[in-house]
Amino acid sequence: MSETFVTIARYQYSSEAQIVKGRLEADGIDVFLRDNITIDTDPLVSNAIGGVKLKVLSKDAEKANAILNSIQKYATDDEGKAIVCPNCGSNHIEMYSTINSFKSLFFFLIGFISGTLPFSTRYQYKCENCKTEFPIK
């Protein structure tokens, strides 16, 4: 076997990677995810280990990249439907982590250790159009 795998994308969340995996497989591309189990166990390590890696056979890389470019520009829900801004209705929505500074990481760890921090406070959606930030359902 001379086939090799290449990493064509990285995702912070395995759910996101699973959606893309399903999309690529629908086009007959074999997809392999790396580190998704680790990240499901502890989402906080996702950034540390570089996220969930989405791999395909090198012969499929070009086709897979073309498909990737046509999808996944903006956040989608679990059914793959675009998330829509509650303020302006735009679907140009990005997911981002609220843990973007040392200070927020500190408070996150406090909440994490005490068990009082719900998932929804760690990640939010942000509308590119009107800059509205809103929580993940």
Q: Report the interface residues with Zn ion, using CB under 5 A.
A: 85, 87-88, 90, 127, 129-130, 132
Rounded CA-CA distance 13/4 in Å is 24
Least Å distance between CB 74 and Zn ion? 12
Least Å distance between CB 97 and Zn ion? 20
Rounded CA-CA distance 12/94 in Å is 12
Q: Which of 83, 82, 67, 84 shows the shortest CA–CA distance to 20? A: 67
Rounded CA-CA distance 45/62 in Å is 29
Quick one: 47 or 87, whose CB is closer to Zn ion?
A: 87
Quick one: 63 or 92, whose CB is closer to Zn ion?
A: 92
Least Å distance between CB 137 and Zn ion? 16
What 3-state DSSP class applies to 97?
strand
Rounded CA-CA distance 16/104 in Å is 24
- Residue given tokens 């760690």 in the structure block: 122
Quick one: 25 or 133, whose CB is closer to Zn ion?
A: 133
Least Å distance between CB 75 and Zn ion? 12
Quick one: 39 or 75, whose CB is closer to Zn ion?
A: 75
